[in-house]
């Protein structure tokens, strides 16, 4: 589980509420709140 504000590394993260997928392009990029549901948690 990854949260907004963390920098979990580049890759693909899925919103646990609505399933929206975001991609982080670099290891230094932080997760942002889901643009669809404002969730702050992503999987993995
Ligand atoms: Zn969402």
Residue 29 Cα to ligand 1 midpoint, Å, equals 18
Q: What is the DSSP secondary structure assignment for residue 37, as one 8-state letter?
A: T
Q: What is the pLDDT of residue 43?
A: 97
Give the Å distances, CA to CA, from 14 to 26, 42: 16, 5
Helices and strands, counts by H and E, the chain: 0, 4
Residue 21 Cα to ligand 1 midpoint, Å, equals 8
Domain residue limits at 4 = 1-44
- Overall domain count for the chain: 1
Is-contact 5 26, C-beta < 8 A?
no
Q: What is the pLDDT of residue 6?
A: 97
What does the chain come to in residues? Answer: 44
Q: What is the pLDDT of residue 42?
A: 98
Q: What would the pLDDT profile of 1-44 be if each residue is shown by its tens digit?
A: 999 999 999 999 999 999 999 999 999 999 999 999 999 999 99
Residue 19 Cα to ligand 1 midpoint, Å, equals 6
Give the Å distances, CA to CA, from 3 to 6, 8: 6, 9
């Amino acid at each position: 589980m990854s949260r907004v504000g963390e920098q979990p590394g580049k890759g693909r993260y899925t919103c646990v509420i609505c399933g929206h997928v975001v991609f982080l392009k670099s290891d230094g990029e932080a997760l942002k709140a889901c643009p669809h549901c404002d969730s702050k948690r992503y999987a993995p």
